[in-house]
Amino acid sequence: QKEVEQNSGPLSVPEGAIASLNCTYSDRGSQSFFWYRQYSGKSPELIMFIYSNGDKEDGRFTAQLNKASQYVSLLIRDSQPSDSATYLCAVNGPDYGQNFVFGPGTRLSVLP
Amino acid sequence: GAGVSQSPRYKVAKRGQDVALRCDPISGHVSLFWYQQALGQGPEFLTYFQNEAQLDKSGLPSDRFFAERPEGSVSTLKIQRTQQEDSAVYLCASSSTGTNQPQHFGDGTRLSIL
């Protein structure tokens, strides 16, 4: 059973702070990791993806991957109220076929 | 179109009716996926197509669920004899050829079974 776990939240941070979202996964064979943002009533929107250990930065977003510890995180710098959404972690690997396994999502609330 | 298009956006049906949900993927995308998302949960995989071939249908919850992609582009998810537990948002995603590619989602169809 391949599982992806996230803290459901809500995670509340003040505007301008760093929001840290974490995701752990059970399958050591996992190779690809994706973060999606989902506003209420909307579809998931791709934020970042990461394949290799270490950090990957894109604007205010940084994805961090540690395969040995089986976790991937997303940091959002200078958080804005518009970042308030549910963040979904998705994992893929050779044993998954082509589909992604999603976590339940973490609800982030950025307070003005 | 530029993105994944799904229709209808909302569907209300009575228990026992059949429904059909449509997905038009990003042009040129080989892979197409259907997911089911319950309220407050992450999407759950239903089935996957590569071109017209349905390569994985392990996530379909029962034989009442059927999906097709006859010409390798538009896909239809059909649910027969709907039950109340089928109420959910059905998401379609597509990706370019190759493994480990990001998937891009449509706006989904919110299905309500009365």
pLDDT in tens, A6-24: 988 899 999 999 999 999 9
Distance CA(A102)–CA(B75), nearest Å, equals: 22
CB pair distance less than 8 Å for B106 and A43: yes
Predicted local distance difference test score (pLDDT) of residue B9: 96
Instruction: Using the predicted structure, report yes or no on whether residue A43 has a pLDDT greater than 80.
Output: yes
* SS3 assignment, position B100: coil
DSSP letter at B102 equals P
Measure CB to CB from residue A104 to each of B41, B91, B105 and give the nearest one. Answer: B41
B95: CB partners within 8 A, 6+ apart = A98, B29, B30, B31, B33, B101, B102, B103, B104
| Ramachandran category for residue A82: left, alpha or beta (phi over 0 → left; psi -120 to 50 → alpha) | alpha
CB B6 within 8 A of CB B23: yes
* pLDDT at A69 exceeding the cut of 60: yes
Which residue of chain A comes nearest to B40, CA vs CA?
A: A104
Looking at every residue in chain A, the average pLDDT score rounds to 93
Show residues of chain B in contact with A101, CB under 8 Å. 45
pLDDT score of A1 more than 80? no
pLDDT at B97: 74
Torsional sign, CA A105, B101, A45, B44: negative
B49, burial (CB in 10 Å: exposed 0-12, middle 13-18, buried 19+): buried
pLDDT at B111: 97
Interchain pair A34, B43: CB under 8 A:
no
- Kindly write down the DSSP assignment for every residue of B4-37, as one continuous string: -EEE-SEEEE-TT--EEEEEE--TT--EEEEEEE
First to last CA, chain A: 40
Distance from CA of A42 to the nearest CA of B (A): 6
Instruction: Copy the structure tokens of residue A106.
Output: 């973490």
Q: DSSP letters of B43-99?
A: -EEEEEEETTEEEE-TT--STTEEEE-TTSS-EEEEE-S--GGG-EEEEEEEE-SST
C-alpha–C-alpha distance, residues B46 and B77, integer Å: 10
Encode chain B (114 residues) as per-residue pLDDT tens digits: 579 999 999 999 999 999 999 999 999 999 999 999 999 899 999 999 999 999 999 999 999 999 999 999 999 999 999 999 999 999 999 998 766 789 999 999 999 999
Closest residue on chain B to A49 (Cα)? B102
Share of chain A above pLDDT 90, in %: 80
Task: Provide the 3-class DSSP secondary structure of residue A95.
Answer: helix
